[in-house]
């Protein structure tokens, strides 16, 4: 029940975000004097509507977005009443049209920023000093977390029957112990521990110095065997190495809470990191199409593949089911930011395509004026329809792929 509630709540949050996106277009258009004839939440048959002034507001039967109708978005619109010609959107200065067309994405960014600030002061944002690379992790103190077993092969998987027990657990080491020496070799950080273990052999008995609750102690463990590549060449040939059956337990906090004023700076830094991450993720989208097809046809789902609104809602359901509300709201933040960026891509029919054309017209007119040539006028959108249809087709196919993958082989964050 909690899972279904989470799915519905996240889907509702997305619907509200998209509705506010369209409201951003509508309110800025009205502020500049453009005529907005319709504002609806959803698509399909009208369930309920009312008229206020010159605009009809309402709700339609398919809750998959929303729209607003601004009169005369392009010179080729043929449904403009002669009395409204002076209010047609395409007649307004390019900067006003830019504000109107970008207002939707700005709304998504505003939602993401406000939610991020609230998270920063209430639950904390990811610690920017938390180790994120192998080199940084190896500089962490050798505070250990016990594994349940040692997996003999090089494949990361859950423990199975027959896997050797963790030597560290058999030696009565505990989570949170800090290793200080191995066979007399001082251990200053986790990297030192890895190097010292590689200097031993599977089956050797290792003498381990450690600190627990501030008290030093020693123990002995018979090292197990696993398969790993060389430390200095992660892509190198895998070979047998000694294993203690431990992992790194981070002492650096994963999240940092901020005061109301500090949270503004933290929100800005987090948003900057998210912008870089979004850019990198969008660059990888074409590379992930084969992985989506693999997931649909029975292969393992790559957690780095794109997800649809369906997949995001399912993750939201998992978050609520596991009482992980922070995950729920972080999903909301990242999705809004991604939609805001994606919608500004200079491709029709996205808002960014309309903005790009508006500024192209402005630049072209400026160049022609300097050359003392007649203004070439507006871009003919009808000539761009083949490109627009191609973008819609590609986007539709990609959306269908992600939705199908999210239905038949979804990404999961929690064990159910």
Q: Which of 114, 273, 276, 150 is nearest to 222 (CA)?
A: 150
| In contact, 14 and 64? CB cutoff 8 Å | no
> CA 373 to CA 117: how far, in whole Å?
52
Q: CA nearest 337: which of 173, 133, 115?
A: 115
User: Residue 266's closest CA among 274, 277, 258?
Assistant: 258
Would you give the end-to-end CA distance of the chain in angstroms?
13
The tokens describing 84, both together, are 């409204």
Residues 237, 252: contact at Cβ < 8 Å?
no
| Contacts by 128-136, CB closer than 8 A, 24 or more apart | 128/256, 128/269, 128/273, 129/252, 130/250, 130/252, 130/253, 130/254, 131/250, 131/252, 134/234
Would you say 195 and 231 are in contact if contact means Cβ atoms under 8 Å apart? yes
Measure the CA–CA gap between 99 and 349, rounded to whole angstroms.
17
Q: Which of 184, 191, 189, 197 is nearest to 142 (CA)?
A: 189
Residue 140 is a catalytic residue: no
Cα–Cα distance, 181 to 199 (Å, whole number): 13
DSSP, collapsed to helix, strand or coil, labels residue 183 as coil
> How far is 297 from 163, CA to CA, in rounded Å?
31
The verdict on whether omega for the bond into residue 12 sits within 30 degrees of 0, i.e. cis, is: no
Report the catalytic residues.
22
């Amino acid at each position: 029940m909690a899972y279904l509630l989470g799915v519905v709540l996240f889907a509702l949050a997305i619907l509200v975000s998209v509705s506010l996106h369209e409201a951003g277009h509508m309110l800025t258009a009205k502020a500049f004097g453009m005529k907005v004839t319709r504002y609806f939440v959803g698509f399909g048959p009208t369930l309920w509507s009312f008229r206020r002034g010159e605009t009809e507001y309402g709700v339609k039967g398919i809750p998959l977005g929303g729209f607003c109708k601004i009169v005369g978005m392009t010179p080729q619109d043929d449904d403009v009443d002669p009395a409204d010609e002076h209010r047609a959107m395409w007649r307004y200065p390019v900067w006003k049209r830019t504000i109107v067309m970008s207002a939707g994405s700005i709304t998504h960014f505003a939602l993401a920023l406000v939610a991020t600030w609230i998270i920063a002061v209430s639950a904390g944002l990811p610690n920017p000093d938390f180790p994120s690379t192998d080199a940084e992790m190896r500089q962490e103190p050798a505070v250990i977390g016990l594994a349940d077993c040692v997996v003999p092969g090089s494949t990361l998987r859950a423990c199975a029957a027959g896997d050797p027990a963790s030597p560290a657990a058999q030696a009565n080491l505990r989570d949170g112990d800090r290793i200080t020496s191995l066979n007399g070799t001082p251990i200053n950080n986790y990297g030192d521990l890895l190097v010292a273990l590689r200097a031993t052999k599977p089956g050797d008995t290792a003498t381990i110095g450690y600190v627990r609750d501030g008290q030093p102690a020693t123990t002995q463990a018979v090292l197990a065997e696993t398969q790993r590549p060389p430390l200095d060449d992660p892509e190198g040939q895998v070979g047998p190495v000694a294993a203690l059956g431990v992992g790194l337990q981070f002492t650096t906090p994963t999240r940092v809470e901020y005061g109301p004023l500090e949270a503004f700076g933290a929100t800005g830094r987090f948003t900057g990191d998210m912008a870089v991450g979004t850019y990198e993720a969008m660059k990888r989208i074409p590379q992930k199409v084969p992985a989506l097809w693999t997931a649909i046809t029975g292969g393992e789902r790559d957690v780095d593949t794109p997800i649809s609104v369906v997949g995001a809602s399912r993750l939201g359901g998992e978050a609520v089911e596991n009482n992980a509300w922070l995950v729920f709201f972080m999903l909301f933040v990242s999705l809004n930011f991604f939609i805001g960026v994606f919608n500004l891509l200079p491709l029709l029919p996205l808002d960014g395509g309309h903005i790009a054309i508006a500024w192209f017209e402005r630049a072209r007119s400026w160049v022609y004026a300097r050359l003392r040539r007649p203004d070439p006028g507006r871009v003919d959108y009808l000539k761009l329809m083949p490109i627009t249809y191609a973008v819609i087709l590609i986007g539709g196919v990609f959306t269908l792929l992600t939705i199908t993958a999210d239905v038949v082989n979804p990404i999961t964050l929690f064990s159910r």
